[in-house]
Amino acid sequence: MNRRVWPYLMGTAWQANVVGAVGTWAYFRFIDYQAMDNQRMPGPGELLYFVVGLLGLIAVGQVAGLVWNRPLDGPLPPPAGPAGDLARRRAIQMPFFVAAATLVGWTAAGVIWGVGWQLIAGYFTPAHSMRMIFGITVISGGAATVLAFLIVERHWRRVLPDYFPAGGLTTVPGAPRLPVRVRLLVVLLLMAVLPITVLGMASIRGATAALAAGGDPSETISRMILVVVSLVLATMITSVGLALSVARSVAEPLGRLQAAMGEVERGRLDVHCPVVSNDEIGTLTEGFNHMVRGLAERALLREAFGKYVSEEIRDEILSGRITLEGEPREVTILFADIRDFTPWVEASDPREVVRDLNAYFTEMETAIRAHGGLVVQYIGDEIEAVFGAPVARAGHAGQAVRAALEMRRRLAAWNASRTRTGRVPLRNGIGIHTGTVLAGNIGSADRLSYALVGDSVNLASRLQGLTKELRADVLVSGATRARLDDRDLPLTALPAVKVKGRTAEVEVYALG
């Protein structure tokens, strides 16, 4: 037997049965004391019958428990398949099984002592037998059944999540479901109906005894007062206990859910709230766990997505602010290309080329990001970057020029470390132009990429190509120069040039 199951089954149900046994004794001792002969000592046959009947009920209960709980013997969590499904269903049914077994046991006890006992004792009558069955099965058995369910459910909730580590408790087919409303209604009815029933029985028996006795009924009245006071006290204690038990069954899972929500609010997305019931609270908890998993997956996607595109593009795409149609925007475009890339690749090991390219791109992108720029794409050994999109920024022209200066400094420092190890230094050319482009998601409905489209993009690329002819590593267009706030940037005017695709000459500056 699974060590987690049997102690909970036998170590909790006995408490309810003990309460029921005490209630039975009190009921027939003070309430319906005429239902059985309490004035004489039971004979040997009656004692033997009592012992055999009690042991028989215990033995049948143990055997039934062992057989019913056999599917729970396997490993935790249960494996997939029919056997695992049965184990999970039985795990949910555990409190219901214990309650049902308790009710069946007390029903059998009502027959054993309400019929068989009176037959052996020699005072059997149908009226007495019905009163015995009513007191044992309805009064004591009803209270013991509800109490067994609440006690077992409370303890079993500590084990139940082991059968459902990934959730899914509320979707198990064939499992009974006890809504919170029904739970509260049953307990309220129990607290209201049983005391009234017992009080009514006490009043009837007291009045009957008083009429039968004749004369001064003071003894009967005193007995009735004692019964009423005892009943009130017992009802108060029972009501408080049941109320606390039901309140705990609702408040504890809600408290854990509230604590888990607080953890999520503080940024923890690895929180899992155990689902301990398949009622409305369990459904709410399942929904919370699904929500947290969705948030964690979204955060993971967001982090992974940010490795393929920039944080700016990622945030704009996920927020839905980048449209498929794109939008016109004035930006500054920067193109950077490695000089003599083909000869270097041919003379180098491919793996070394990839490592060096990654290191070079890391240095260049760091400089671009430091000044508010965004790398749109890598094209072979070329970098296309934009300043002023997708998030609009003031002074994007100056940011692009200062980023070019930073790229130059970083390339020089990186080349110094390469030279010390005997590797060939790399050179690049940078072209910068400011103008209006169409910026947005470009592509098909199934595959998109953030891109810049327009003549300004072509001009920035042409300027990068002219760096070889004009012997300058950084060329800035006149449009960019006109929008610079910082006039102290080291720019040297060069003769206007003609570029492919344009009839008018382009004003250019070399960044000193």
Least confident range from 70-84, 222-236, 483-497: namely 222-236
Reply yes or no on whether the pLDDT at 305 is more than 60: no
CB 116 within 8 A of CB 166: no
Mean of per-residue pLDDT scores for the chain: 82
The whole-number average pLDDT for the span 15-30 is 80
CB 137 within 8 A of CB 20: no
The whole-number average pLDDT for the span 462-478 is 93
High-pLDDT (> 70) share of the chain, %? 81
Cβ neighbors of 490 (< 8 A, separation 6 or more) are 511, 512
Q: Which of the given ranges, 265-274, 293-302, 306-315, 408-417, has the highest pLDDT on average?
A: 408-417
Reply yes or no on whether the pLDDT at 231 is more than 50: yes
Reply yes or no on whether the pLDDT at 254 is more than 50: yes
Model pLDDT, residue 21: 86
Model pLDDT, residue 445: 67
High-pLDDT (> 90) share of the chain, %? 24
Model pLDDT, residue 1: 39
Least confident range from 30-39, 72-81, 268-277: namely 30-39
Model pLDDT, residue 142: 84
Joined tokens for residue 104? 């069946």
Higher local confidence (pLDDT), 320 or 165: 165
Q: Other CB atoms closer than 10 Å to residue 165's CB: what's the count?
A: 11
pLDDT tens digits, one per residue of 382-404: 999 999 988 788 899 999 999 99
Least confident range from 192-201, 204-213, 476-485, 486-495: namely 204-213
CB-hemisphere CA count at 13 Å for 298? 10
Strands 448-453 and 382-387, bridge-based pairing: unpaired
CB 107 within 8 A of CB 145: no
Higher local confidence (pLDDT), 497 or 205: 497
Q: How far apart are CA 73 and CA 64, in angstroms?
A: 15
Model pLDDT, residue 466: 93
Model pLDDT, residue 360: 96
Reply yes or no on whether the pLDDT at 4 is more than 70: no
CB 393 within 8 A of CB 370: no
Higher local confidence (pLDDT), 267 or 214: 267
Domain regions of the chain by residue span: 6-265, 325-511
Model pLDDT, residue 213: 57
Q: DSSP assignment of 201-263, as one string?
A: HHHHHHHHHHHHH-S--HHHHHHHHHHHHHHHHHHHHHHHHHHHHHHHHHHHHHHHHHHHHHH
Reply yes or no on whether the pLDDT at 34 is more than 70: no
Answer whether CATH 3.30.70.1230 is correct for domain 325-511. yes
Reply yes or no on whether the pLDDT at 279 is more than 70: yes
Least confident range from 109-118, 297-306, 500-509: namely 297-306
Of 498, 510, 433, nearest in space to 467 by CA = 510
Burial of residue 122 (number of CB atoms within 10 Å: 0-12, 13-18, 19+)? exposed
The whole-number average pLDDT for the span 18-30 is 80
